[in-house]
Amino acid sequence: MNVFRLIGDMLHLVSILLLLFKIRADKSCAGKVYSISLKSQILFGIVFASRYLDLFTSFVSLYNTCMKLFFLCSSFYTIYLITTKYKFSYDKEHDNFRILFLIIPSFLLGCIFYDGDSNSNAFMEILWTFSVFLEAVAIFPQLFLLQRTGEVEAITSNYIICLGGYRAFYFLNWIVRIFTEREFKGALVMIAGIVQTILYCDFFYYYFKRNNNQKYINHHNHLETMATKKWIFYISTIVAYTYIINHYISTPIKNNNNMSSTKKQEVVKPPFWANLVAGGVAGIIGASTIFPMDMVKTRLQNQKINADGTRAYNGIIDCFSKIIRNEGGVRSLYRGLSANLIGITPEKALKLAVNDLLRTVLQGDRPHITLVQEVMAGAGAGFCQVVATNPMEIVKIRMQIGGEGGKRATLGEVVGELGIRGLYKGTAATLLRDVPFSMVYFSMYGRIKEYFTEPNGHIALPKILLSGIMAGSAAAAVSTPMDVIKTRVQVKPKPGDPTYTGIMDCINKTWKNEGPKAFAKGLLPRIMIISPLFGITLMIYEVQKMIFAKSQQQPK
């Protein structure tokens, strides 16, 4: 995969996320100055459904499969939101383009130009070719709707611009493949892509013309004045990140089938149960060491700005001193530790052991593991541990915040108040924090540890600790915004504090009331917590695995 295709895929993904964000945030598929075309979304749904039928017949790669599933699910979810959940807001009067005029010609072209020489099933080839032609014109109803309403709104503009960027980078991808792949047959997709790019160029002209003439009408003026800057930011950020990702994808890690070792050796791999035990023990030791800082981090993230502009805490040191002075001494810094230790054992056990297991499964018999495989293993590990440990996470937060008002909440009181359903409040926010965290953490840890490993495969314990600290710092920084949201969704609001109905409601209210800086609250203490926590945890985990391996190698 070349970098242009990867950037194109990421832009395509971001365009869909932008659209879903707008619909969910506004709880509507049409605002005062914008409307989302159901007809275009139906066409995209048909494109993905006809193109990705090979999900049931072949497997190319995990990355390929995940992207296909995302596009299929997100497309039909968008259609569901427009036709069912937010049906009342759909602008049926203006969205009246007859999509049969696009579907029928595209299908006929698919029947004529499909690859008859291919060894694949003829029907599948026809559907694939049909999807290529239909995708080229699927955006047409949305452009038609924008022309009819006469307005170009920020979010839908960014959605279309990201789609246009996706097609532009795919065009560059085809050019690269022509010069690097002798067997590449790209004339058909290039022609269809050119047609689609022309449609987007027409929109870009319309967009910038209206922007220069200052004819926007929007009830969110701050969004409109930043529209151009925002889409440039989206694309430039995606280009930068995907270039870095592509650079590392091309550099596979040598693997000896343990979690992050990089030099191939004859070692005894611990069984899954042994990794579970090692992960639990490592987690308990690491969490107990840094728990006071975790208490401070939670307090700083949850504090609100008072009416007079003051805050409860003026930083890390001030928070430490006030907790000790006002809430019962040093012991108050460990409030919630019992719940945390109960939760940390299965959390770290599952996260570390499942990551090891998934790495082994994804790598298979291949000598190397790629960055994409590492990232997917981390995502799976993060998902599994969230499902098991979210109840204890919310109990820990409630107990940490509970001392602010004077009355201390006990473990039994918090569990009794929340009930089974309440213990899983904010699970979606926890997933959005922990899955990306694990993806970044485990992949970076492996790469950094590879750098520190000596040619004979030996690595000193301080270097393992440093590897965990460095990877933990980066992962903590990336996941801090969702950690803020998760904390606010799960914590019990005090009188006068805003209440949240979900993730999007929390994001909207936090942005509106406190600005974007609120999403970085607790960033420094979070890094100060996560980096040593995972450094200590991974060092102890690796030591236990080494001990197990040596014990199995001793003569009986």
List the chain domain ranges: 3-249, 268-553
Rounded Cα distance between 128 and 185, Å, is 14
Q: Which tokens in the block code for residue 273? A: 């149960």
pLDDT in tens, 369-401: 888 888 888 888 888 878 777 777 777 666 666
Per-residue pLDDT, 523: 82
Reported CATH class of domain 268-553: mainly alpha
Please tell me what DSSP assigns to residue 492: P
Whose CA is closest to 371, among 379, 173, 452, 353? 379
pLDDT at residue 255, as a whole number: 42
Q: How many CB atoms lie within 10 A of CB 27?
A: 12
Question: Which DSSP string corresponds to 224-245?
Answer: HHTHHHHHHHHHHHHHHHHHHH
Residue 187 pLDDT class (50, 70, 90 cuts) = low
Kindly list the distances between the CA atom of residue 327 and the CA atoms of 125, 323, 404, 406, in Å, as whole numbers in the listed order: 70, 5, 8, 7
pLDDT single digits (tens) 282-341: 888 888 877 887 788 778 767 766 667 777 787 777 788 888 888 877 778 887 787 677
Higher pLDDT, 249 or 189: 189
| Distance (Å, whole) CA 436 – CA 378 | 8
- Mean pLDDT is highest, among 51-60, 272-281, 291-300, for 272-281
By CB neighbour count within 10 A (0-12 exposed, 13-18 middle, 19+ buried), where does 554 fall? Answer: exposed
Q: pLDDT tens across 107-120, in order?
A: 887 887 776 655 56
Tell if the pTM clears 0.85, that is, is over it: no
pLDDT for residue 426: 65
Residue in this structure with the two tokens 């506004």, named with its chain if needed: 26
The better pLDDT of the pair 231, 347 is held by 347
